[in-house]
Amino acid sequence: MSDEDVATRAPEGDAAEDEAQSTSTFNDKRAQQSDASKGLGEHCTTDPPLPTSASQPSGEMTTLNDVECYISKPTDYPHAPSKLLLLLSNARGIHSVNNQLQADAFADRGFLTVMPDQFAGDAMSTTKTEVSGSQSSDEQTPSIIERLKMGIAETAKSFTVDMWLARQSPQKVLSLLYKAIDGAQEAYGDAVANGGGIYGVGYCFGAKYVMLLLGDNPDGVAQGQRPAGSMGEEGESKGEPKLKAGAIAHGTLITREDMDAVRHPVMMICIPDDPLFPNDVRKAGMDSLAKNLSHMENSYREVVYEGVPHGFATVGEYDDDHIRSSQKKAFKEMCEFLEQH
């Protein structure tokens, strides 16, 4: 019996009205939670199922300048020259098999890929997101008790994400990344020299830091002494960008100031109306890129993919053919942009 049927019958009508009011309150709270905690989305904090054809990761864990890193090398390296790529992952970090396979994919493309632990062992805990399959009718219309339980769970998760984000300050993350970059330059100087610098790619959380490493931020910001986006002190010099070129996919936490500071080529893979990378931030950022990078050919590009979820470009299995094909196309476009620089 549907909710509408129950609502037209007595004396159950009072109970139905109470449920409707509770459902309305539940939905209002869910909407408020969504607005209040837009720093990370579901695909930023969970691993989707792996493709059925996925193999085991082929890279290795090592330490560069006291920062744990996942390293994936082209099969013919060092006998054939390679370029050094810094991969900054989503919130799941370097021990996520999905992220390791993503690094391996770039290595297969010819990049010596270094994925540093930008969270110092504090990545989001392991969970799985069901992105394929179907729900029964009962699952699609859970009872009020089930919906309230879901609301409690969402509130707890939102709180957990907020607390986690508070621990991942730009000062902390940038300090770790600068150490990892120094270590990678020392360990793989041949790849840095071959590429004429270091390339970067970032997904979700990591996308913000690719932007920052492409920028001429004041020294205090670059060294993690002050928050990203803050103005330089009088007489303070600005550091050179650490990355030669970068590509990002479905970024989060990126600000207009981050994009305004970018001085080297960047490509952005986006989705329309993404609350985690709002349209107004993207538009203002593209205006800044057009102004600041106009002297360089093919120096900035934005590609917007319709009909895909935030997080779609990271390795994961989808039943939807359009999402699967978009994921492959996005990877190809990111590689081609980096290879052109």
Domain extents for the chain? Answer: 43-126+166-339
Backbone angles phi, psi at 159, to 5 degrees: -65, -40
Instruction: Please report which confidence band the pLDDT of residue 118 belongs to, taking 50, 70 and 90 as the band edges.
Output: very high
Q: What is the pLDDT of residue 157?
A: 60
Residue with more model confidence, 80 or 228: 80
Q: Which residues of 129-141 are buried (b: 16+ CB within 10 A; e: fewer)?
A: eebeeeeeeeeee
Distance between CA 269 and CA 301 in Å, rounded? 9
Task: Write down the pTM of the prediction.
Answer: 0.78
pLDDT given for residue 199 in this prediction: 98
- Can you tell me the mean pLDDT for 191-201? 98
CB 258 within 8 A of CB 232: no
Least confident of 44-53, 133-142, 158-167, 241-250: 133-142
3-state secondary structure of 74: coil
- Nearest to 102, CA basis, from 92, 89, 91, 119: 89
Mean pLDDT value of segment 209-225: 76
Quick count: other Cβ atoms within 10 Å of Cβ 9? 10
Chain segment 258-302, per-residue pLDDT in tens: 999 999 999 999 999 999 999 999 999 999 999 999 999 999 999
pLDDT of residue 72: 98
CA distance 336 to 76: 20
Question: Are the CB atoms for 232 and 218 separated by under 8 Å?
Answer: yes
Q: Which CATH class is domain 43-126+166-339?
A: alpha beta
pLDDT at residue number 46: 77
